[in-house]
Amino acid sequence: MQMKKFINDPHHLLPELLEGLALAFPRQVRLVGTNIVARAVPKAAGKVRLVTLGGSGHEPGLSGFVGEGMLDYSVTGEIFAAPGAPRCIEAIQMAAKDSPGVLLVVLNHAGDVLSANITMQAAKKNNIPVQMVLTRDGISYGQNSDSANDRRGLVGCMAVYKVAGAVAEQGDSLDECLRIAQKMEENTRSLAVALRTATHPSTGHTIFELGDDEMEIGMGQHGEAGTGRMKMKSADETAGIMLDMLLENLGVAAGENLLVVLNGSGATTLMELWIVFRAVSKILKARNINLVRSAVGEFITTQEQAGFQIMIARMDTELVRLWDAPSNAPYFVTR
Check residue 6 for interaction with its own copies (CB under 8 A).
yes
The DSSP output letter for 207 is S
CB atoms < 10 A from the CB of 117, how many? 13
- How far is residue 156's CA from residue 134's CA, in Å, rounded to a whole number? 10
Cβ neighbors of 303 (< 8 A, separation 6 or more) are 57, 198, 199, 200, 201, 207, 266
CB of residue 102 to its own copies, shortest distance in Å = 26
Spatial contact of 213 and 232, defined as CB atoms under 8 Å apart: yes
- Comparing CB distances to its own copies, the nearer of 209 and 213 is 213
- The type of residue at 179 is R
Residues 6+ apart with CB under 8 A from 46: 98, 99, 100, 171
Residue numbers annotated as active site: 58, 222
Binding pattern to its own copies, positions 258-297, x when CB under 8 A? ----x---xxxxxxxxxxxxx--x---------x--xxxx
Determine, following the binding rule CB under 8 A, whether residue 180 of this chain makes contact with its own copies: no
Of 142 and 326, the one with the shorter C-beta distance to its own copies is 326
Of 113, 122, 230, 235, the one binding its own copies by CB under 8 A? 235
The CA–CA distances, whole Å, from 77 to 73, 210, 241 equal: 13, 27, 34
Binding to its own copies (CB under 8 A) within 296-325 occurs at: 296-298, 301, 303-304, 306, 308
Nearer to its own copies, 73 or 277 (CB): 277
Per 3-state DSSP, the chain is made up of helix, strand and coil in percentages (nearest 5) of 35, 30, 35
Give the number of residues in contact with its own copies, rule: CB under 8 A: 64
Closest approach of Cβ 23 to its own copies, in Å?
4
Binding its own copies (rule: CB under 8 A), the pick from 7, 114, 148, 253 is: 7
Under the binding rule (CB under 8 A), the answer on residue 118 touching its own copies is no
According to CB under 8 A, which one of 52, 59, 112, 185 is a site residue for its own copies? Answer: 59
Helices vs. strands in the chain: H and E counts, helices first: 8, 14
Give the binding range for its own copies (CB under 8 A) out of 7-15, 40-48, 156-164, 175-183.
7-15
Question: Is residue 64 within the footprint of its own copies (CB under 8 A)?
Answer: yes
| Site string (188-207) toward its own copies, x via CB under 8 A | -------xx----x------
Pick from 1, 45, 254, 286: which binds its own copies (CB under 8 A)?
Answer: 1
Phi, psi of 89 (to 5 degrees): -65, -40
Strands (DSSP E) found in 44-162: 49-56, 73-79, 102-107, 130-135
Alpha helix segments (H runs only) across the chain = 13-24, 85-96, 110-125, 156-169, 174-186, 235-250, 270-286, 317-324
Could you list the residues that contact its own copies (CB under 8 A)? 1-2, 4-8, 13, 16-21, 23-25, 56-57, 59-60, 64, 195-196, 201, 212-213, 232, 234-236, 238, 262, 266-278, 281, 291, 294-298, 301, 303-304, 306, 308, 326, 328, 331, 333-335
